[in-house]
Chains A and B, each alone.
Chain A
Amino acid sequence: MQAVKENITVQPLNGNNRIDNTDFEVRSLDSMCINESQITHPWWYNFKYMAVGIVFGIVFVKAEIISWYRIQEMFRLQSFHMYGVIGTAVVVGIISVRLIKRFNIKTMHGEKVEFHPKKFNKGQIYGGLLFGLGWAVTGACPGPLFAQIGTGVYVIAVVVLSAIAGTWTYGYFREKLPH
């Protein structure tokens, strides 16, 4: 009930008429990529995330994760490759998160690493299914799309623009969709 109350709280407008959306319910439905850090850094600190992204992009291409063929083989059970990639990544991720929690490892700026439980809603079912349908057509989830453009397949920019349009359409109809 608390969350419902927060939903109707009127947010103050700031200078450029944009509401700073601090509504937790809106954010939790979209609980990915939350910036948990409370410390404000100069913008160029973000280059460290670019460095991580570069490693990720190289792996994407060299392990052929961005390949349309590998995705088709995964969904037709013709290759173990993608199952191996995702499975290994999850195992390494689980161990890492366990270690961080167990030994209370802090960030490089000394902050406590924050985790938030994800709330279940029907979007994970309906949206997940729609995403899966799209994934098998394009042979790419959002990350690989950017890597595909990097390898010189420029027409994928159209796919990215269409994905942005899809995201916008979701935002437009969000209150009418079952969650």
Chain B
Amino acid sequence: MIEMLKQPWPWYIAGALIGLIVPALLLLGNKHFGISANLRHACAACFPANINFFKYNWKKEMWNLFFVAGIFLGAIIAAKLLANPNPVIVNAKLAAELVGYGITDNTNLLPKELFTVQSLFTLRGLVMLVGGGFLVGFGSRYAGGCTSGHAIMGLSDLQWPSLVATVMFMAGGFIMANFILPFILSL
């Protein structure tokens, strides 16, 4: 059983469990699934700077911070107790492309050549970690939510603005991965 749990879980199991988070949060206390709002709560709590957008009672949304703390703890549990002993399987075409950028270590879920403290001191790493993070934070708040809030919660409630947002998330991802990221990875 434990050996089976250590293997990568199939999409239908993961998808069903993530889908069940929607009713779980609603029925536990009328909470709407969403994660990027935590970034706003962090601003409201630490640097509100008299900006109207950050002047609200973030303590009322404390549940969301507990939720994210749970995600962090769950990841620790999975990494310590259920770690996959094998390298991550990468699509052959992607793997071949990444070799050209010097990315060959697939022992972890994130390539070590890109996601280490050392890479912060390279132009490529700095652009990806700081620039990418900035876009994620800016874009998700501008769009009014991220993958969880729009693509999962919004679509679950059949909200068409969330469909617009989800389509744009995918469009941005396609443009970046296929047309821009190759240049960044070559830096």
- Chain A interface residue number, banded: 35 or more
Q: Mark A118-137, 1 if CB is under 8 A from B, else 0.
A: 11110111111111111111
Q: Mark B162-187, 1 if CB is under 8 A from A, else 0.
A: 10111111111111111011001000
A window 116-163: CB within 8 A of B: 117-121, 123-143, 145-156, 158-163
**Does more than half of chain A's interface fall in helix, strand or loop, or is it mixed?**
helix
Q: Evaluate contact between B136 and A123: CB separation under 8 angstroms.
A: no
Q: Evaluate contact between A150 and B21: CB separation under 8 angstroms.
A: no
Q: Inside 8 A of B84's CB, which chain A residues have their CB?
A: 62
Q: Please tell me if B78 contacts chain A, counting CB pairs below 8 Å.
A: yes
Choose from A20, A58, A71, A129 the contact partner of B139 (Cβ within 8 Å): A129
Q: Which partner residue on chain B sits nearest A57 by CB separation?
A: B74
Q: Between A and B, how many residue pairs show CB distances below 8 Å?
A: 559
Q: Evaluate contact between B8 and A118: CB separation under 8 angstroms.
A: no
A window 53-82: CB within 8 A of B: 53-69, 71-76, 78-82
Q: Please tell me if B51 contacts chain A, counting CB pairs below 8 Å.
A: yes
Q: Evaluate contact between B133 and A118: CB separation under 8 angstroms.
A: no
Q: Please tell me if A84 contacts chain B, counting CB pairs below 8 Å.
A: yes
Q: Inside 8 A of A159's CB, which chain B residues have their CB?
A: 129-130, 132-133, 136
Give 6 closest A-B pairs by Cβ, nearest first.
A132-B172, A53-B70, A57-B74, A88-B15, A92-B19, A127-B142
Q: Please tell me if A176 contacts chain B, counting CB pairs below 8 Å.
A: no
Q: Evaluate contact between B146 and A142: CB separation under 8 angstroms.
A: yes
Q: Evaluate contact between B73 and A67: CB separation under 8 angstroms.
A: no
Q: Please tell me if A35 contacts chain B, counting CB pairs below 8 Å.
A: yes
Q: Evaluate contact between B30 and A111: CB separation under 8 angstroms.
A: yes
Q: Inside 8 A of A126's CB, which chain B residues have their CB?
A: 142-143
Q: Closest CB of chain B to A112's CB: distance in Å?
A: 8
